[in-house]
A and B are shown apart, each in its own frame.
Chain A
Amino acid sequence: MANILLLIISILIYASFGLKSLIFIVFSALSTYLAAKYMYKNKKLIFYSTLIINILILVFFKIISFNNFLNISILVPLGISYYTFSVLGYLIDIYKEKYQPEKSIFNYFLFVMYIPYLFIGPISRYDQISKTLYNKRTITKDNFFNGLIRVAWGLFKKYVIAGRIAIIISTISSNPEAYFGSYVFLALILYSFELYNDFSGGIDMVLGFSKILGIELSENFNSPYLSENLREFWRKWHISLSTWFKDYVYIPLGGNKCSKIRNRINLIITFIVSGLWHGINYFFWGLFHGIIVAFTPKEKSDFKVLNITLTFLIVSFLWVFFIYPDSLTSFKMFFSIFYKFNGIDLINNITKLGLNIPNLIIMIVTIIIGIIVDIKHDKLKSIYNLKIDKKLIIILSLLLITLLLGIYGLGFEKSNFIYSKF
């Protein structure tokens, strides 16, 4: 009963974003549900036809959303990437007979349409989520308050940290003629924190909200900027997408059970596909990540701090493709760091980038708080064992600080989640 109610609420919220979107998600859910159910009749035909149709729908919307022709982008169904990957994963797993198809159409639709993760992920995997989603759940005090802590922390990251950084990034990226060299360097470093806090903040909200309902979703981040190389980074960043690509692209290509050269090609192809999933402009981002990961030795050097710093710089530099509208501008602006760097000019004009001194201080302090929380991540888990009154203090403090210091409302751009566009 609780799940049917959750499904109805999810459908209603989803429908509020446009009935046309609802048609596509219902089609994806229904087609894969029926395909899985009747796959035994004509396995290959049903599997491939359903797979291709769903991929084509995704590709179609990806193309129009990134080319924006005829202004059709507004019609792109909410969360199409997330639910399509979820249903494709399910379909492939059923085809490979990893588990039995879901019998209940309500349960299956809830797996596809569970509203919190349709906005920003994580990408759900049927075999994992079915364990928590379909079990009898009760809302406990502990889950309620622990979930709220997570939601409040997500709001803080999204609106206080990421929102403030976004103002500087927007100023720099919207005017490449005026802001190059040192400004691009600053933008890339800051964008790392913006994207991470925006995306992981959203995921915190999804996980927290689910926790309140007694639904345990998998973590999507694990302190990625503390990684010592790019291989490790990709085990800690957008984990649900990385593992999806690993399971459904990299391993089918042959994974590492082949020659070293073939393995490297597999890695590069996987990253290119991942880049293209983000959009045409992200081809080089995927390619460079693929090449670096493919040639990263499995053993780490002994210089931990240096490793972390280098990895962070590489990741930050490659975000350039996320900041600028096309690859050519991205390359141009990236190389301007090396031949037009002017640190003095940047310092002199730092307050002209959209934030005054108090706001710059707030930005730096909150970024540092975010980093400390990441470093002390394991120790901070003890917060979840505190008494309820102490948890309440944490929740209310975070909410009040976010209300006061958050970047939202009139006077600020409406801030959507960066990753909700992918």
Chain B
Amino acid sequence: MKKRICIIIIFFLSLFILLNRLVTPKYQTELIEGHMIKEYYQEAKNHEVIFIGDCEVYANFSPIQMYKDYGITSYIRGTSQQLIWQSLEILKETLKYEKPKVIVFNVNSMRYDKPVSEAYNRLTLDNMKWSQEKINMINSSMLEEETFLSYIFPILRYHSRITELTKEDLDYFLNEKNITFNGFLINKNIKPYTSFPEQRRLPSYTFKENVYKYLDEMVKITKNNNIELVLIKAPSIYPYWYDEYEKQIIDYASKNNLHYYNLKKVVDEVGIDYNTDTYDGGLHLNLNGATKLSKYFGKLLQDEFNLTDYRNNESVNSIYQNKILLYNDAIK
């Protein structure tokens, strides 16, 4: 009888695991941003530069382009609306796998001092490997209506998808395809800038104390590990980056001996044309724009941080040559 009971429990447990997998979004053809976090784990961990931050990193920089031009090995660990405490945990997690020379952090998320949306939380967290960092991220990112348990058992969140399953859920049940190139999400569409929203007046333009706390911790961790923390503000024509924000970041960088590059200010030098180089009217860059920006920023990184040109390293280069083939195919 005990054996039969064990078999029954194992059977239902397996069924439970399979159903969890079935109803969880695969992020392959819709909301593909949810797949990005997962792809890092399959990578060879030999990057000298790691980008962390929100959509402004994964849409605007192409690591493969930077490798092609300068031999820089880099990876973008960006996710949709990645909040600063999520960036911090991703930094900590990354350091468990590798020790890059440079961490590039896009400061756009300094604007947010509390969780914004459950959907964005899911895009960042669903496919993250279980670790102390993930637990911290869930705890600090959950909105009131969310439960920790639903991150452990996605069926609790996604069970309603059982009546909305698509071919994608079956096609990618076992294997998923990668959708980024070292974390860069290619977007070839062109939607020229025509107008942008009016600058909103905010009750306060001062970054919140808790946000600085996370940035302080990033500074501390990178310094303890002899890593250069580089702050950037990626280019975007939308008026969401206020002069007051800019001043605070400049002051912070100066106080902590950090490099800070506001790439909004060099769009002419980079050659970005918001008629051809954006896929959403100026908020993010498209492939054209990202290629230009990567060429510019790759040069800057190489000049400033003494990065290795891995094109001369046979084993690394062979990996990247395969990536380049696929990348060239994808950007045709």
Please report A residues at the B interface, Cβ cutoff 8 Å: 356, 358-359, 362, 387-389, 392-393, 396-397, 400, 403-412
A interface footprint on B133-170 (CB within 8 Å = 1, 0 otherwise): 00000000000011100100001110110111000000
A interface footprint on B1-31 (CB within 8 Å = 1, 0 otherwise): 1001100110010011001000100000000
Q: How far is the CA of A107 from the CA of B100 in the complex (A)?
A: 67
B-side contacts of A387, CB under 8 Å: 1
B-side contacts of A393, CB under 8 Å: 8
CB-CB nearest in chain A for B13? A396
Q: How far is the CA of A408 from the CA of B160 in the complex (A)?
A: 9
Q: How far is the CA of A308 from the CA of B163 in the complex (A)?
A: 34
The answer to whether A389 and B5 have CB atoms under 8 Å apart is: yes
Check B118 for interface membership: any CB of A closer than 8 A. Answer: yes
10 more CB-based (< 8 A) A-B contacts, given A403-B19, A410-B146, A411-B160: A358-B164, A387-B1, A388-B5, A396-B8, A400-B12, A403-B16, A404-B19, A404-B23, A408-B159, A412-B160
Q: How far is the CA of A232 from the CA of B278 in the complex (A)?
A: 72
The answer to whether B5 and A392 have CB atoms under 8 Å apart is: yes
The answer to whether A389 and B4 have CB atoms under 8 Å apart is: yes
The answer to whether A400 and B1 have CB atoms under 8 Å apart is: no
Q: How far is the CA of A412 from the CA of B159 in the complex (A)?
A: 11
The answer to whether A356 and B163 have CB atoms under 8 Å apart is: yes
Q: How far is the CA of A380 from the CA of B4 in the complex (A)?
A: 23
The answer to whether B156 and A362 have CB atoms under 8 Å apart is: no
Nearest chain A CB to B34 CB, angstrom units: 16
Q: How far is the CA of A412 from the CA of B150 in the complex (A)?
A: 14
Say which residue of A359, A397, A403, A410 sits within 8 Å of B118 (CB atoms): A410
Chain B residue total in the interface (Cβ 8 A): 23
State whether A404 and B146 are in contact (beta carbons under 8 Å apart), knowing that A359-B163, A389-B8, A392-B5 are contacts in the complex. Answer: no
The answer to whether A358 and B150 have CB atoms under 8 Å apart is: no
State whether A410 and B157 are in contact (beta carbons under 8 Å apart), knowing that A389-B1, A400-B16 are contacts in the complex. Answer: yes
Q: How far is the CA of A359 from the CA of B163 in the complex (A)?
A: 7
Say which residue of B12, B155, B159, B160 sits within 8 Å of A396 (CB atoms): B12
CB-CB nearest in chain B for A362? B163
Q: Which 5 A-B pairs have the closest CB atoms?
A: A358-B163, A396-B12, A389-B4, A359-B163, A404-B159
A-side contacts of B146, CB under 8 Å: 410
B-side contacts of A396, CB under 8 Å: 8-9, 12
State whether A409 and B156 are in contact (beta carbons under 8 Å apart), knowing that A356-B163, A389-B4, A396-B8 are contacts in the complex. Answer: yes
Say which residue of B156, B163, B164 sits within 8 Å of A403 (CB atoms): B156
Within 156-210 of B, Cβ neighbours of A (below 8 Å) are at: 156-157, 159-160, 162-164
Nearest chain B CB to A107 CB, angstrom units: 36
Say which residue of A388, A392, A397, A403 sits within 8 Å of B159 (CB atoms): A403
Say which residue of B1, B23, B145, B147 sits within 8 Å of A388 (CB atoms): B1
B-side contacts of A397, CB under 8 Å: 12
A-side contacts of B163, CB under 8 Å: 356, 358-359, 362
State whether A404 and B157 are in contact (beta carbons under 8 Å apart), knowing that A396-B8, A396-B12, A410-B118 are contacts in the complex. Answer: no
The answer to whether A409 and B8 have CB atoms under 8 Å apart is: no
Q: How far is the CA of A414 from the CA of B66 in the complex (A)?
A: 50
The answer to whether B8 and A405 have CB atoms under 8 Å apart is: no
Q: How far is the CA of A405 from the CA of B156 in the complex (A)?
A: 10
Nearest chain B CB to A411 CB, angstrom units: 6
Nearest chain B CB to A18 CB, angstrom units: 18
A-side contacts of B159, CB under 8 Å: 403-406, 408-409
Q: How far is the CA of A358 from the CA of B8 in the complex (A)?
A: 29
The answer to whether B5 and A409 have CB atoms under 8 Å apart is: no
A-side contacts of B19, CB under 8 Å: 400, 403-404
